[in-house]
Amino acid sequence: MSLKFKLIGYPIKHSLSPWIQTTFLERSGIKGSYTLHEIANEGIFEEEINKLKAAEVNGFNITVPYKETIIPYLDRLDVTAERVGAVNTVALEGNDWVGYNTDGVGYVQALRDKFPDMDGNKDVPILILGAGGAARGIFHGLVLAGFKNLTLANRTRSKCENIINGADASIITLAEAEKNIAAFDVIIQTSSVGMNEAEQIIDLSNLRQGAIVSDIVYQPLVTQFLKQAEEKGGRIHYGHTMLLYQAQKAFEIWTNKNVNVEGMDEEMIAKIKGDK
Ligand code: ATR
């Protein structure tokens, strides 16, 4: 039997997911395919989802702009997708379409793999900069992993309140984050600021030596934010690992196999740089 997986979204032509998932299939010796299913606009979404269901796929990833649009078409959501309010992975389980969200959990796994010392203390002070969809996934990924000392900083405060939604966490302004940056051992930049090479969400002059600094932006791979973090003695973490680890979690949901991602990190860097 050959398994059939898809990626839904728009635009997705340059996505690295087919390469990642095909590599996973090869590495785990499973026969199958992972191909693109572009849906150009929301008007045809229902029709396309019905086509997909009829095509008897075993599962699919869903990306921008449809991570919320898909929810009413699913039979149930797992706890993370429920908390985040968005789905990036769907699996056919029996006759049910089940929605998961592996973005934040995958990202947190990437961080913990690279910096195992993070796990030694669940009270490690963590700062999340930005409060969009990515921050929401990462925040709940951290909560589910047991991290207890979480602070959010964003230009628009209400978006932080919305993400926290009753959980135990602090909210500060970006100016406060900049001033008190030395109080944090882990800093995660989740906003789109940094895609423009010259921009940086906050200045890191007061960064503590040895702090872990991560930026989810991976185009460019080395953002201005990460450059400054490195100059200040921070331990830096690139954003592309989010894509790799969310894919690993999705693959595990579909196949029950925990595939080894060794070496793929470096190959991805080469592909991202080649894209530029
Ligand atoms: P998503 O698509 O992931 O939901 P988004 O809505 O584009 O993301 O928002 C990404 C984040 O980048 C937001 O937290 C946004 O801040 P606001 O909530 O105040 O809009 C943040 N962001 C974008 N441009 C910014 C800038 N120039 N300065 C500070 N924050 C910025």
> Which residues line the pocket of ligand 1, CB cutoff 6 A?
130-134, 154-156, 159, 191-193, 201
Distance 208 CA to ligand 1 centre (A): 25
| Distance between CA atoms of residues 151 and 187, nearest Å | 10
Q: Residue 197: what pLDDT?
A: 76
Q: What are residue 171's DSSP bridge partners?
A: 152
pLDDT in tens, 230-252: 999 999 999 899 999 999 999 99
**Mean pLDDT score, 245-261:** 96
Residues 266, 257, 112: CA angle, nearest 5 degrees: 50
Ligand 1: residue whose CA is nearest its atom 16: 155
| CA dihedral sign, ordered 9, 191, 165, 79 | positive
Distance 130 CA to ligand 1 centre (A): 6
pLDDT in tens, 20-78: 999 999 999 999 999 999 999 999 999 999 999 899 899 999 999 999 999 999 999 99
Active site amino acids? 67
Q: What are residue 32's DSSP bridge partners?
A: 3
In sequence order, which ranges of 28-156 are alpha helices (DSSP H)?
A: 45-54, 79-84, 103-114, 133-144
